[in-house]
């Protein structure tokens, strides 16, 4: 079944730690995205990718980085987590104008 | 600039119809979408309408588009408690550019 998977679902981590949020999709979509969303609030685009080896920063400044070495995989890394990074992170993929398929999200808490 | 606006809250009784409204600013929008988000989950695409259409119906969902006024609405017939969620309107401008509204919180009272 075509889908998009994010792991972990929940993560509590100490300040200064390095973390990687995983995102994988099985649909073969070229475009992938990372959004940051405080619970029930607006979505803010932080990174996107048009395809392998293509990554761009989004509208919201973020201290995270992404990579796209394989079509299906689009991980997001925080080199040094801070309490201000506490939020929900949503990964999505799309093809042309068909709309986005979103993962279930990773809820990150930095203590 | 590009913007999508929605009212923040809507409360209806179970069995009634819900109408969620959205306005957008960019006339180059090619697709307009409605997404549903339940607590603790990602967004789920409910339906979408191409910009040259006026209406689209899909079971209990009816989307109306007034391109002149840049107004989009989502009608949910026979609203159920399971429809309680946040509904996001979104405008696709091409490429990577999709603008999301802030979401309308739908409360369904039994």
Query: Are B43 and A102 a contacting pair at CB < 8 A?
Result: yes
Q: Is any Cβ of chain A less than 8 angstroms from the Cβ of B1?
A: no
The pLDDT confidence band at residue A30, using thresholds 50, 70 and 90, is very high
* pLDDT recorded at residue A2: 59
Contact A105 B102 (CB under 8 A): no
Average pLDDT over residues A61-69: 91
Question: CA A111 to CA B86: how far, in whole Å?
Answer: 28
Tokens representing B8? 């923040």
The answer to whether the CB atoms of B43 and A90 lie below 8 A apart is yes
Report the residue of chain B nearest A10, measured CA to CA. Answer: B40
Whole-number Å distance between alpha carbons of A56 and B83: 35
The larger pLDDT score, comparing residue B81 to residue A38, is at B81
Q: Distance between CA atoms of A10 and A88, rounded to whole angstroms?
A: 9
B78/chain A closest Cα distance in angstroms: 24
Q: Say what percent of chain B tops pLDDT 90.
A: 81
pLDDT for A98 = 79
The answer to whether residue A1 scores a pLDDT higher than 60 is no
Indicate the length of chain B as a whole number.
110
Residues whose CB is less than 8 angstroms from the CB of residue B3 and which lie 6 or more positions away in sequence, other chains included: B24, B25, B26, B99
Residues of A in contact with B96 (CB under 8 A): 31, 33, 45, 48, 50, 56
Taking the Cβ of residue B77 and every Cβ of chain A, the question of whether any pair is shorter than 8 Å is answered with: no
Q: Where are the beta strands (DSSP E) in A4-86?
A: 4-7, 10-13, 19-25, 31-37, 44-51, 54-57, 64-66, 76-78
The CA distance from A77 to A38, in Å, is 18
Q: What percent of chain A has pLDDT over 90?
A: 84
Residue B89's pLDDT is 96
Read off the pLDDT of each residue in B54-80 and give the average, rounded to a whole number.
96
Task: List the single best residue of B6, B9, B98 to mutate versus A (max A Cβ within 10 A).
Answer: B98
What is the model's pLDDT at position B81? 96
Looking at residue A95, what is its pLDDT? 86
| Mean pLDDT, residues B26-40 taken together | 91
For residues B22 and B88, is the Cβ–Cβ distance under 8 A? Answer: no
CB B34 within 8 A of CB B73: no
- pLDDT over 70 (residue A46): yes
Question: What pLDDT shows up at residue A97?
Answer: 73
């Amino acid at each position: 079944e075509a889908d998009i998977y994010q792991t972990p679902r929940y993560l509590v981590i100490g300040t200064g730690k390095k973390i990687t949020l995983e995102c994988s999709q099985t649909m073969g979509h070229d475009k992938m995205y990372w959004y940051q969303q405080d619970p029930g609030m607006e979505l803010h685009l932080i990174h996107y990718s048009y395809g392998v080896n293509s990554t761009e920063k989004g509208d919201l400044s973020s201290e995270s980085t992404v990579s796209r070495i394989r079509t299906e995989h689009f991980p997001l890394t925080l080199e040094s987590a801070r309490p201000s990074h506490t939020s929900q992170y949503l990964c999505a993929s799309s093809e042309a104008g068909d709309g986005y398929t979103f993962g279930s999200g990773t809820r990150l808490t930095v203590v | 600039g590009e913007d999508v606006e929605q009212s923040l809250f809507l409360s209806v009784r179970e069995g009634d119809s819900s109408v969620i409204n959205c306005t957008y600013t960019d006339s180059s929008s090619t697709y307009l979408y409605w997404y549903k988000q339940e607590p603790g989950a990602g967004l789920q695409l409910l339906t979408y309408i191409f910009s040259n259409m006026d209406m689209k119906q899909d079971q209990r969902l009816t989307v109306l588009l007034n391109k002149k006024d840049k107004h989009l609405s989502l009608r949910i017939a026979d609203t159920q408690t399971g429809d309680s969620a946040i509904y996001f309107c979104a405008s696709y401008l091409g490429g990577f550019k999709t603008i999301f509204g802030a979401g309308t919180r739908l409360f369904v009272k039994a």
